[in-house]
Structure 1
Amino acid sequence: MVAPKKKKKKKKDLEIGDIVRETVSVKGKKRCGEILMILQDDPADPTM
């Protein structure tokens, strides 16, 4: 028995105003929302 191949997800650049969806695999719940702001990741000056 051969396992089916997984389809690779395409990584796309996200921008402010994009609608994103997230699925939590454990419970099967789905969340969706709009990107309001993007925090820049800079090793010299981290945002968090």
Structure 2
Amino acid sequence: MASQSITDALTSGTASADIRYRYEFVDQDNPLDNAQASTIRTRLGYRTA
């Protein structure tokens, strides 16, 4: 009986995703100190019933 309730909880759940892209550029007075960065934050989830 416990395995049926676990199976029901997993099959009745919902998946979620959150993706955020970020770009950053730093322009310093000294040309050697310029910088660029691209980052992606990804969060995946699953909520059981």
Relative to the length of structure 1, the TM-score reads 0.32
Q: Considering only CA atoms, is the larger Rg found in Structure 1 or Structure 2?
A: 2
| Structure 2 length-normalised TM | 0.31
Structure with higher RCO (Cα < 8 A, 6+ apart): 2
- Structure with the larger strand share: 2
Instruction: Name whichever structure is richer in helix by fraction.
Output: 2
